[in-house]
Amino acid sequence: MKIVVCIKQVPDSDKVTIDRTTNRLNRAGVPAVVNPFDENALELALKLKDANPGTTVTVVSMGPPQAAEAIKEAVAHGADGGVLVSGREFGGADTWATGYTLSLAIRKIAETDGPADLLLFGKQATDGDTAQVGPGIATHLGVPCLTCVQSCEVLDDKTFKVVRIVEDGREEWEVQRPCALTVAREAGDLRIANLRCKMKAKSYQPPTWGVAELSPNPDFIGLKGSPTRVAKVFAPPVKTNRERIEGTPAEQAAKLIERLAERHLV
């Protein structure tokens, strides 16, 4: 079984600021970390690898040259290898252009290693919070996609059993290979890197693919190929029309029901 996991380096959320002129994140000088949700996706891939001998896990990341460190970190935790998609032409990509570019990389991996049975993504990225890239890549590749996944197991050589989180509980699905899943925190924290994998990662250098290797349509990549434009970034206004209800618990409950009834909410 072949698994591809897409990961992203994001700015440390405690130190990030907004450029008020461009409405984009200020990334210069801000420490980069692996997107936490992508760590959950990697852990799910490694669990499947543990349970199914012969499984390979390949990591793909798109970003500047230093994003290679994210791939090396994934190898330190148990991934078999990875590919970095990098080049100035890809800079400024929105979720649509990012999904298009990464889908080309996944197709290229399939040319040499065979098609992936499973594509895994974090539920969302902490810098954009759109949750669009995983489903977007699935659409570009024409494979089914399930979101907010907690667990996945192999039923047979054609089918996965997937548990996904919904607002009022859990759903169980059976989905045919190949497919894509976006993974929630409930899938589990990423395991601690072991010494053998850390030694492998230390000397590992992932290949870097640019426009020469992927041959993208130039109108579909980077800022030029991004239909999304951020018009304005602002903090929502603070609402101050709160009312404090005093009294005993019974009195507070009665007053609360009265207020809700006034607003036709009960």
**Is residue 25 situated within a structural domain?**
yes
**Is residue 231 situated within a structural domain?**
no
Euclidean distance between CA atoms 153 and 140, whole angstroms: 25
Predicted pLDDT at 264: 81
| Count of structural domains within the chain | 1
R_g (Cα) of the chain, nearest Å: 22
Euclidean distance between CA atoms 17 and 21, whole angstroms: 12
pLDDT in tens, 5-18: 999 999 876 666 66
Predicted pLDDT at 11: 83
Query: Residue range 67-73: average pLDDT?
Result: 96
CB 30 within 8 A of CB 15: yes
**Is residue 45 situated within a structural domain?**
yes
Q: What is the dihedral of CA 101, 103, 104, 108, to 10 degrees?
A: 140
pLDDT in tens, 17-51: 666 666 566 656 667 899 999 999 999 999 999 99
> Among candidates 139, 101, 119, 126, which has minimal Cα distance to 215?
101
**Is residue 179 situated within a structural domain?**
yes
Predicted pLDDT at 22: 61
**Is residue 125 situated within a structural domain?**
yes
Query: Residue range 121-132: average pLDDT?
Result: 91
User: Which position has the higher pLDDT, 18 or 118?
Assistant: 118
Euclidean distance between CA atoms 228 and 230, whole angstroms: 7
Tell me how many degrees the CA angle 105-154-165 measures, rounded to the nearest 5.
80
pLDDT in tens, 212-222: 999 999 999 99
pLDDT in tens, 178-194: 999 999 999 999 999 99
Which CATH number covers residue 150? 3.40.50.620
**Is residue 137 situated within a structural domain?**
yes
Residues spanned by the domain of 159:
2-220
**Is residue 100 situated within a structural domain?**
yes
**Is residue 81 situated within a structural domain?**
yes
